[in-house]
Structures are given as structure tokens and as C-alpha cells.
Structure 1
Amino acid sequence: MTQLETAMAIMMKVFDTYAAGEGNPGTLTKGEAKTLLEKELPGLMKGAKNQAGVDKILKDLDFNGDSEIDFSEFGVLVCTVACVCHSRCSKK
């Protein structure tokens, strides 16, 4: 597989691993999403100013308002974080 194909496969596996914890195995509950962020993006979580900000991000990700994060919504999070990181790295 190419590097991008590998990255996509890893992203899908990470989502599926955390989504399988509780509730619907095709979506992340708020608890699953927080655990995923804490374990998979610890640097981002350490840099978060407050927990209320993290809760707002999770709420804003839930575009369809079903109180869960599906893979499409998760993809938006990953792409947004990647864009922010890329922008910061490009400025250095």
C-alpha cells in the first residue's frame, strides 16, 4: 500500500477500535471520543486550554445532532487538526 493508503487504513482502524467500546459500533459516543483524543492525540489534549473547549469541539463535530460522532464527522476532526498542524509547521 502507498503511504496515503496506509494512513487511511490506520485512521479507519483507530476509529473502529474506539467506536467498538460501547453503544453503536459505527459511531463514537462522547466518552469514546474523549478517550480517543486523550490516547491518540495527547499533545493536542495537553495544549487544550480547558475541558469545556474540548467538549465544545466534540459537540460541534456532531453535525447531524445525534449525540454521536460518525466516521465522516471524525474525518472532519482529523483533517482539521492536520490542516492546523501543517499551517503551523509551514510557518516555522
Structure 2
Amino acid sequence: SMCVSKAMENLIKVFYRYSGKEGDKYKLNKKEMRNMLQEELAEFLTEKLDIELIYTFFFSQNLDENKDGEVDFQEFVVLVAALTVACNDFFVDSMKRCPTSE
């Protein structure tokens, strides 16, 4: 369970690290979202997914629930969940490597 709480904590930290850069500090605008995807998912994206694809996916699947063209934390979590499902094998592998002796 340490692994899960760490993952949750990391999600929150990552979101606010990028959302605070410009504009509304509680939302990711498109530029902040792009930076976050590029920097946080770089290795992973080159192999499995393309940033443009995720980007299009977010706005086409109506994950932008309030239609403001920005990503609030709730929308971000939904996006991460959708990506996690899409890339289950990758994440299962990562979790196996997550240190349990903390």
C-alpha cells in the first residue's frame, strides 16, 4: 500500500508542479499539459504513445468536462486513469519494480 500512496502523492505533486507555471495555478492549460506529458512521460511516450494522441484523446473524449480548454485536477486524474488502462502492461511492470521496503 506504500506503493499506492506514493503514486497518489506523486500525481498530486506532478500536477501542481506544472499547473502553477502560468495562468490559473489549479489548472493545466494546453502548454502546461504538453510540457507535463513531454517531461514526465518522455521514455514511455516514445515507445508506446504519442503526445499528440493523448492530447487529442483528452479533448475528443470529453475528458475536459467543463469545456474550458484546461485540465483541472479531477480531469487530470481521469486522464491518468484512462492512460493507465490503455498502458496496463507498462504500469504493471513499473509497479513490480516499485520499492516495497520503505
Q: Same fold (TM over 0.5)?
A: yes
Distance 1:13 1:45 in 2: 20
The SS at the match of 1:5 is helix
- Aligned residue in 2 for 1:80: 82
Distance 1:23 1:32 in 2: 10
Distance 1:44 1:89, change over 3 A: closer
Calculate percent identity across the aligned residue pairs: 31
Letter in 1 for 2:88: H
Which of 64, 67, 71 aligns to 1:65? It is: 67
Q: Map residues 13-92 of structure 1 onto 2, 5 A cutoff.
A: 13-46=13-46, 47-48=49-50, 51=52, 53-60=53-60, 61-86=63-88
Distance 2:6 2:54 in 1: 28
Distance 2:16 2:91 in 1: 29
Distance 2:73 2:91 in 1: 27
- Contact residue 29 and residue 71 of structure 2 kept, 8 A: yes
Larger helix share, 1 or 2: 1
Structure 1: which 5+ runs fail to align? none
Higher relative CO (CA 8 A, sep ≥ 6), structure 1 or 2? 2
What is the aligned residue count? 88
